[in-house]
């Protein structure tokens, strides 16, 4: 699969940069995290950016390749799975990340800081997605 290499590389660099910040935040003990709104805000914002970068990458590939249009951000990853770009397990994980991004952006629900902290502990999911993207360029 070939998509616009420059577009994907720029987004992967941004993802790498954000993941470095998230790694630092993930090492903060839960008790300290729950008491510090500044840390919570940084974690939420950087998780939002990481999710958006993955969404943008998926959207770009879908448009470039002429795959069926997704009906939601989460569906982007379903389309990529259907086209053989992502394994089912990773596509499901990325769909959950897209849903979490919507909660962060639109505050549909009150954000649960313990859940955000749990997401910080799972930044490897973003790295697995990035590894798949590298096989596309």
Residues 18-41 have a mean pLDDT of 98
- At residue 87, the pLDDT reads 97
Q: At what angle do helices 37-65 and 113-120 cross, to 10 degrees?
A: 60
Whether 2 shows a pLDDT value over 70: the answer reads no
pLDDT in tens, 50-99: 999 999 999 999 999 999 999 999 999 999 999 999 999 999 999 999 99
Sign of CA dihedral 30, 111, 78, 19: negative
Which one-letter DSSP state was computed for residue 29? -
CA distance 109 to 63: 31
- At residue 5, the pLDDT reads 87
Percent of the chain with pLDDT over 90: 86
- Residues 6 or more apart whose CB falls under 8 angstroms from that of 133 comprise 8, 12, 57
- At residue 109, the pLDDT reads 63
For the chain, the structural domain boundaries read 5-134
pLDDT in tens, 105-116: 887 567 899 999
Q: Tell me the average pLDDT of the chain.
A: 94
- At residue 107, the pLDDT reads 74
Homologous superfamily (CATH) of 5-134 is: bsu32300-like (1.20.120.580)
CA distance 77 to 37: 31
Strands annotated E in the chain:
none
């Amino acid at each position: 699969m070939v998509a616009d290499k420059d577009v994907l590389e720029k987004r992967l660099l941004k993802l790498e940069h954000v993941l470095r910040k998230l790694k630092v935040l993930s090492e903060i003990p839960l008790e300290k995290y729950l008491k510090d709104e500044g840390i919570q805000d940084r974690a939420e914002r950087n998780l939002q950016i990481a999710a958006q970068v993955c969404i943008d990458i998926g959207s770009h590939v879908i448009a470039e390749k002429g795959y069926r249009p997704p009906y939601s951000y989460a569906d982007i990853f379903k389309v990529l799975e259907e086209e053989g770009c992502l394994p089912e397990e990773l596509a499901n994980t990325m769909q959950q990340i897209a849903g979490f991004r919507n909660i962060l952006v639109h505050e549909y629900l009150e954000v649960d800081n313990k859940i955000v902290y749990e997401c910080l502990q799972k930044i490897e999911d973003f790295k697995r997605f990035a590894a798949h993207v590298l096989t596309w360029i």
